[in-house]
A = this chain, B = another copy of it.
Amino acid sequence: MYEGVVQDLIDELGRLPGVGPKSAQRIAFHILQAEPEEVQRLADVLTVVKQKVKFCTICFNVSEDAQCRICRDPRRDPSVLCVVEEYKDVVAIERTREFKGRYHVLGGAISPIDGVGPEQLHVRELMMRLADGSVTEVILATDPNLEGEATATYLTRMLSPLGLRVTRLASGLPVGGDLEYADEVTLGRAFAGRRSADGSEG
């Protein structure tokens, strides 16, 4: 229907996550009318991102160098390791400014239905990082869903012989949420994990 290269553009845009055929069309039309410099900037940053962005050789976080900013930062506590699924989880946790330790990015979660087992994740590299005994606590910050829980359970089993403290992020009611809208699993967890109102553990 469209002139050849316009259709190519719509097709390529339609492959991006969350971009349906209608959005791909809308973006393509915007690009047709946009300033050439603006479009070139987007084209360039796409190329540059794939050239420059690597993964940290220690923690597999996104990095422009062999080691990421967090692994290079001497102020970050090397004895606490937070294990996450993806780079975006690192960003989310960094945004809280609560965590001063280091990370290990697994690159996903165990999901047999998608053919992802521990071998497809950076689990072996995690075990190697723990071998020298400098890490004393591992926080399993995988997603609170089926795959994340399966991954945390698997890692807990792998890590238990090492004699480390292995923790999991608290489950409970989201702050600012409404109790009546919480699903039963979340509400159940919130009860199970209840704490004394003066701050000491329940």
Measured as residues with beta carbon below 8 angstroms from the partner, the interface class of chain A is 35 or more
Closest B residue by C-beta to A35: B50
What is the total number of copies of this protein in its complex? 2
The answer to the question of A121 belonging to the interface, with a C-beta cut-off of 8 Å to chain B, is no
Contact check, A5 vs B43: say whether CB atoms are below 8 A apart: no
Contact with B along A8-22 (1 / 0, CB 8 A): 110011011111000
A112 to chain B, nearest CB (A): 20
**Contact between A5 and B39 (Cβ–Cβ < 8 Å)?**
no
Please determine whether A50 and B63 come into contact, CB atoms closer than 8 angstroms. no
The complex places the Cα of A1 from the Cα of B190 at a distance, in Å, of 31
Asked if A143 is at the interface of the complex by the 8 Å CB criterion, the answer is: no
A5 touches B53 (CB 8 A): yes
Contact with A46, one of B1, B3, B9, B64 (Cβ below 8 angstroms) = B9
Interface centre among A40, A46, A52 (most CB of B within 10 A): A46
User: Top 7 nearest A-B pairs by Cβ distance?
Assistant: A43-B46, A43-B43, A12-B42, A36-B50, A17-B30, A43-B47, A39-B50
**Known interface pairs A8-B48, A31-B49; 19 further A-B residue pairs with C-beta atoms within 8 A, sorted by A's residue number:** A3-B53, A3-B62, A5-B52, A6-B53, A8-B45, A9-B46, A13-B42, A16-B31, A16-B42, A18-B26, A19-B23, A25-B88, A36-B50, A39-B46, A39-B47, A40-B50, A42-B46, A43-B46, A46-B46
Interface residues of A (CB under 8 A from B): 1-6, 8-9, 12-13, 15-19, 23, 25-32, 36, 38-50, 52-53, 62-64, 68-69, 86-88, 91, 94-95
